[in-house]
Amino acid sequence: MRTTVGIIGAGPAGLLLARLLHRAGIDSVVLESRDRSYVEQRQRAGILEQGTVDVLRAAGAGERMEREGLRHDGIELRYDRKRHRVDFPALTGGRSVMVYAQTEVCKDLIALQLKEGGPLLFEAEALAVEGADGDSPSIRFRHEGREDVLECAYVVGCDGFWGVSRKAIPEALTRVFERTYPFGWLGILADVPPSHDELVYARHDRGFALLSMRSPSVSRLYLQVPEGTDAQSWGDERIWDELERRFETDDDWRLQRGPITQKSVTPMRSYVHEPMRHGRLFLAGDAAHIVPPTGAKGLNLAVGDVVTFARALTHEKETGSTELLDTYSETCLARVWQAERFSYDMTTLLHRAPDATPFEDRLQVARLERIASSEAAETDLAEGYTGFPFA
């Protein structure tokens, strides 16, 4: 097999890249190790930045998002039983975010790819990227019980942290920056309408809590728990009781309970791999960087990466210049590090470390009070949350 761009991974990054390339008249092949059902059901991110929403619309992938997604114009911060709403459009010149689950983004992009785009091979396991530093890289993969080779002009690794793409970059050429956190998120899906019409981020002495949603009838909630916690060790009533404690306020707001249909624990880490390019191999999304989910940046960072690559390759096609391809890593990393900073700030603002001192507790509250009382501090949060611009 031969194509211009070999894409490893059919998550939102790989699928969106294939869509952007198709609309630019550039052929691609997408290889995905899992089956279609798995890709369309795996629960991941649910918040789309303004820029991501705009890209999906422009790519012709926004019809169902417009109909079923939930536009949010703000978030609520809670601390010391107080409530403070951050108004995004008022602080950012009209920008907002969209609640629309990654699973739904993938379903939309898969349908478009199968209808209009190039080959999308499920259960096609990438085994290795070869010849990345030459003119004709290739992907060795296994599909339908036999090995095959996809010859490419370029390879884009959208295969996540555990994929093969990053391994094709020699260790001697790389630098890794990472931080692990001594806590995780116990997340639940519950068949109950959300108890608030916007996301609620709560800082509490017992730990962080987040009220989110997947639809008007399905709630998504999270609790900060110790690192290594087994989700099944938490009974349903215990989860609801703890959520009630952490969301407590001085007014008559109440948390609505309902049947919990899913629970899992997400570890928390920050990770950046530099560079994001080696020869004709380009990394995108979790293959190159991971953020703690507090800032809702993971999916949106991946979108920024593939938009940058698609623009660079389109520029090369139209002008013959590789200038934008040559600066891909630097361009992406400038945005990545701003998102890493924002996610770290949100995480340390709202989570209580296991060894936190009373001094550190008071500092967190002081930081939240600053946001609630200063338009400048509030604007900084709103600009970061709604998304840093694509280069």
Among the residues of 25-164, which ranges form H helices?
A: 36-41, 50-58, 63-68, 88-92, 102-116
Q: Is residue 56 within 8 Å of residue 62, measured between CB atoms?
A: yes
Mark whether 79 is an active-site residue: no
Q: What is the H or E stretch that residue 300 is in?
A: helix 298-319
Phi, psi dihedral angles at 352 (to 5 degrees) = -95, 120
CB atoms within 10 A of CB 148: 15
Mark whether 293 is an active-site residue: yes
Q: Which of 307, 282, 299 is nearest to 21 (CA)?
A: 307
Strand order in the sheet with 5-8: 120-121, 28-31, 5-8, 154-157, 281-283, 277-278
Q: Bridge-partner residues for 175, per DSSP?
A: 274
Mark whether 72 is an active-site residue: yes
Mark whether 344 is an active-site residue: no
Q: Which of 342, 347, 353 is nearest to 386 (CA)?
A: 342
Q: Which of 79, 100, 154, 385 is catalytic?
A: 385
Mark whether 273 is an active-site residue: no
Q: Which two tokens stand for residue 118?
A: 């190039």
Q: Bridge-partner residues for 267, per DSSP?
A: 184
Q: Which of 201, 204, 292, 351 is catalytic?
A: 201
Strand order in the sheet with 70-72: 47-48, 97-99, 70-72
Q: Which of 72, 204, 273, 289 is catalytic?
A: 72
Q: Which of 22, 289, 297, 351 is catalytic?
A: 297
Strand order in the sheet with 260-274: 82-87, 74-79, 199-203, 209-215, 218-226, 175-190, 260-274, 289-290
Sign, CA dihedral 353-356-358-359, equals negative
Residues in the chain: 391
Query: Active-site residue numbers?
Result: 72, 201, 293, 297, 385
